[in-house]
């Protein structure tokens, strides 16, 4: 008889999260000529609504520790910058390229955690960062015919997300709860973008409304399922499964948009995912020895 333990539940939730975020990318791209800032507004607005509901239902409330205020603001600022760069790139790149460049975030997080959390960078982590950036060069292809400035913006989205994750680590280590962090970020982003929406709203067709509602719901679903995943199992045991998003985005990109990445992009995907898997295995081995 198959027994579903907490680790299995964690893996199932993180794969579901990857699938949700892959659909978010698809919906954002399907929305077409809507400004990327407007797309980001809907992504965060629906996440704010859902996280608000979770906070009310759970009884956690809307407060946070005063000593975490600066960290929460920095997480929100860099997280929003990452989302804006990601949405800009999604509108101009193949879905798989935009996704893999955003997935550089764990490697940026290693760098920034050194400065923010004073976490020591181990030799294998330093090597993994270098190899991952080499993989990014294959995807970006500077000087090649497939190069686009949007590639650099896509890499910047990973940097913004990496900075945000470093601050998430800081505030959660200081006792802040996950739903509070999600709500703060989503509400902050919605409020910051609201003036743009008021004065520069781009009229949308009914189909574009549906696509952006779908993007917002998919993003919120992705945020909460990944939060649930890490509530069942530690990152060192399941984080590698988050890279299934690359498979989902590549498949959906091919089926919906006819995207076929070139050979250099595939080499870059292989390098980045490969070094992520290798780092995951090393972390597991070291954790088991402790």
Whether the pLDDT of residue 107 is over 90: the answer is: no
Could you give the dihedral angle defined by the CA atoms of residues 264, 265, 269 and 272, in that order, rounded to the nearest 10 degrees?
70
pLDDT-based confidence at 181, cuts 50/70/90? confident
Single pTM value for the model: 0.87
Half-sphere exposure of 32 (CA within 13 A, CB side): 11
Share of the chain above pLDDT 90, in %: 44
| Cα–Cα distance measured from residue 79 to residue 81, given in angstroms and rounded to the nearest whole number | 5
For residue range 244-275, list pLDDT tens digits in order.
Answer: 888 899 999 999 999 988 899 999 999 999 99
Domain map (residue ranges) of the chain: 6-289
Which letter does DSSP use for residue 240 in this model?
Answer: G
pLDDT given for residue 1 in this prediction: 44
- 47 pLDDT band, cuts 50/70/90, is confident
pLDDT at 197: 92
SS3 of residue 266 by DSSP = helix
Residue 3 confidence (pLDDT) above 60: no
């Amino acid at each position: 008889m198959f027994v579903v333990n907490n680790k299995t539940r964690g893996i199932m939730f993180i794969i579901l999260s990857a699938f949700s975020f892959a659909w978010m990318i698809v919906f954002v791209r399907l929305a077409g000529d809507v400004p990327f800032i407007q797309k980001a507004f809907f992504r965060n607005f629906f996440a704010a609504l859902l996280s608000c509901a979770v906070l009310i239902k759970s009884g956690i409330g809307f407060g946070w520790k005063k000593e975490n205020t600066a960290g929460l603001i920095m997480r929100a600022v860099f997280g929003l910058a990452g989302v804006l760069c990601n949405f800009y790139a999604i509108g101009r790149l193949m879905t798989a390229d935009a996704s893999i460049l955003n997935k550089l975030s764990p490697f940026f997080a290693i760098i920034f955690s050194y400065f923010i959390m004073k976490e020591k960078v181990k030799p294998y982590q330093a090597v993994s960062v270098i190899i991952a950036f080499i993989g990014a060069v294959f995807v970006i292809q500077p000087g090649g015919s497939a190069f686009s400035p949007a590639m650099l913006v896509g890499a910047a989205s990973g940097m913004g997300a990496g900075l945000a994750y470093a601050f998430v680590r800081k505030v959660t280590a200081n006792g802040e709860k996950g739903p509070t962090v999600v709500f703060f970020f989503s509400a902050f982003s919605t409020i910051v973008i609201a003036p743009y929406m008021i004065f520069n709203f781009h009229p949308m067709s009914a189909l574009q409304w549906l696509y952006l509602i779908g993007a917002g719901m998919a993003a919120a679903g992705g945020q909460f399922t990944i939060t649930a995943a890490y509530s069942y199992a530690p990152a060192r045991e399941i984080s590698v499964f988050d890279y299934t998003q690359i498979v989902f985005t590549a498949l959906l990109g091919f089926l919906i948009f006819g995207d076929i990445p070139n050979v250099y992009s595939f080499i870059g995907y292989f390098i980045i995912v490969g070094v992520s898997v290798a780092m995951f295995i090393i972390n597991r081995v070291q954790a088991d020895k402790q």
